[in-house]
Amino acid sequence: MTAELPSSFTVANKAENEMTGLEFRTLPASVRLILVLLLTKAMFAVAEHLLPYVLPPSPLPFIPGILTFAVPSVLIPLILFFVFQRMPATGYWGTVIYVPFALLINAALVGTPYIVTRPIGIPSPDPYATARILETAGRLITSFLSLVLILSLLRRPVRQWVTQREDAILAQRYPSRRTPSLAERGAWILPMIAGLLTPTAVWIGVDMYVGGSVPGDAMFGVLFEHLKGRGILLDVYSLLPFIVLAGISHRNAGTVPTVTLWAVTIGGTLGILALLIPAYWIAWDTIYNNIPGDEKTMGAMVFFFTPLYCLATMFAGMLLGWIVARILRRGVDDIVDDL
């Protein structure tokens, strides 16, 4: 019997697997450093969230809400470790988003108890002092790792390797598509950053200007609600329109001009924020002011429907961004002629 010749589909898949399935030892030293730092952050995250609850003579009492911070801080670096090797540009920009955000969260967890003015329920003397010192030390170490990681990402050899690997992979998968630049591949991070920061920023703003809290107390109150898990659920659900926009931007990188890609992405982001910020402000304002009626139900309805309605304002903003891009690229007269 004669062996069957492999089909073109099989050959293409094999070539792609060989291209994306790189061995760790063949990677440049600067890239290996980033991958090692991601694994180290995951391991330190396990220690940071486990040891203070089991190791000291008086371990901290377990709070279920801490899992909303512990699970992502372990899983996200592990996911980025594999994505960075299989899809370099996505892994690069994903790490660029994750590292400053993780650094910001750690800074809030460490610093907020020292700037709050109201009692936060820590007795004096504190029976959990050793456990809290251990927890703070873990957060400071992971913050240091985050700083080293972000500095490593900014190095020129890393950006060059990401660009070269991504070009080779895209040339294999989509031979007829224009190779996008690293800036185009990173357009999707804009809506993700806005989606991660906006809901919490609005909440803190309402607590300060409506609730009358000082900045430290407002940060502590919102952070405490996130530790309970309720704030995290709201943040995750609020990401819905931003994730849709990020997916559209990521998919169209290299298929449309750079100006059009960024104009549409910025327009869609502004379209989402134009509805989400005032809607969330009104919802929190209703809750903080205790307006007569079932204000909690009203707030819940606003929080539920606003991300869905933001999809409509997102597409409206994308359309405006596309029109602006056409004006910048071709002029008003060309648009009129096309119509």
How far apart are alpha carbons 231 and 227 in whole angstroms?
8
How far apart are alpha carbons 102 and 99 in whole angstroms?
5
Per-residue tokens: 46: 């396990």
Please tell me which residue, 128 or 235, carries the higher pLDDT value.
235
What pLDDT, in 10s, does the model give residues 178-227?
667 777 777 888 999 899 889 989 998 888 888 787 777 788 778 777 76
The 3-state DSSP class for residue 253 equals: strand
How far apart are alpha carbons 223 and 218 in whole angstroms?
8
What pLDDT, in 10s, does the model give residues 303-316?
889 999 999 999 99
How far apart are alpha carbons 263 and 322 in whole angstroms?
6
Per-residue tokens: 6: 């492999």
* Residue that the structure tokens 């804009």 belong to: 190
Q: For residue 328, is pLDDT > 90?
A: no
- DSSP-assigned letters across all residues of 10-70: HHHHHHHHHHHS--GGGS-HHHHHHHHHHHHHHHHHHHHHHHHHHSSSSPPPP-GGGHHHH
pTM of the model: 0.73
What's the CA angle centered on 99, arms 98 and 104, to 5 degrees? 100
- Among 21, 20, 193, 19, which residue's Cα sits nearest to residue 93? 193
Q: For residue 278, is pLDDT > 90?
A: yes
* Residue that the structure tokens 């004006």 belong to: 327
- Please state, rounded to an integer, the average pLDDT across all residues of the chain: 79
Q: For residue 59, is pLDDT > 80?
A: no
Helix, strand counts (H, E) of the chain = 14, 0
